[in-house]
Amino acid sequence: AKQLHGCSYAIFEADKDTDPATQITLEPELWSGLRQEQFVLYYQPRIDLRTGKIIGAEALMRWNHPERGLVQPDEFIPIAEKTGLIVPMGYWAIHQAGQDMLKFKEAGFRYGSIGVNLSFRQFKDDFLAKTIRRIIDKNQIDPHRLEFELTETALFSDEAHVQSCLKELSALGIDFSLDDFGTGYSSFSLLQKLPISTLKIDKSFVAGVNQNKDDEEIVRAIINLAHNLQKKVIAEGVENKAQLEFLIRHDCDQVQGYFFSPPVPIEDFMRMLRGN
């Protein structure tokens, strides 16, 4: 096990189905990027539709690469997942979000919570919950302000392990949301069994609002499902007023998308919170 940010973790053997050339060049680069603190978190505000105010944000990773410039997650997260590097990178993201939350607190900002993405791959770490607890302690993170976004894939990897991790962390006050909802395979019983407080409607369905009747039906069905299960519902990828109005009309709780703001550097997000 190696050490970083005071946490030890194991690196897993890389999957064999990635293009080996890409993997070979990117893996050491990702490692050195992590050690040299080239990663940054951008924040995309989430808006509460009842108040119209910012209720929180999703933290999204960017790679400030010395030669390539700002690299988007689609270019490095899949490789990080294949190689297992997403494990230390994921811990870094929680650590960094914790540091940033201290800044929000010092500034006296009003907001609800910050969502950090957790990859399915991170659940292969036996010490996931324990390590997260340690990061929370070290960074004085208020667990009630921390939320993890999971995908449906994560829930199916090792059900018992996932269930115990989620239970342990939610006992601390951490909330979980189910990301990209509708694109994977969630069973209703799992939705009930796990401490998941929020469903995030995948942006592919939101994109079809006012264009495609099926997508509209799916969006409405997810909102109703969430509310019937006593959960909150967020629509992601809201890009225009027509989509927003549809979501308000159908009682969606929160929205996130380019219509309000793209993910922005922390300074810009803090400027938004200042006027919140």
Beta strands in 22-145 (DSSP E): 39-48, 54-65, 69-71, 113-117
What lies within 8 Å, CB to CB, of 5 at 6+ separation is 91, 92, 95, 135
DSSP code for 13: P
- CB atoms under 10 Å from CB of 70, counted, come to 11
Selected from 54, 60, 150, 234, the binder of ligand C2E by CB under 6 A is 60
The nearer residue to ligand C2E, 111 or 123, going by C-beta atoms, is: 123
The nearer residue to ligand C2E, 10 or 192, going by C-beta atoms, is: 10
Residue in 71, 116, 54 with CA at minimum distance from that of residue 91? 116
The binder of 56, among ligand C2E, Ca ion, none, by C-beta within 5 to 8 A per type, is none
**Do 47 and 53 touch, CB atoms closer than 8 A?**
yes
Single out the segment in contact with ligand C2E by CB under 6 A; choices: 6-14, 24-32, 72-80, 98-106: 72-80
Single out the segment in contact with Ca ion by CB under 5 A; choices: 33-41, 78-86, 93-101, 174-182: 174-182
Residue in 220, 235, 97, 137 with CA at minimum distance from that of residue 177? 235
- Distance in Å, CB of 237 to ligand C2E, minimum: 4
Where does this chain bind ligand C2E (CB under 6 A)?
Answer: 44, 60-61, 72-74, 77, 86, 90, 93, 117, 119, 149, 179-180, 203, 236-239, 257-258, 263
Where does this chain bind Ca ion (CB under 5 A)?
Answer: 117, 149, 179-180
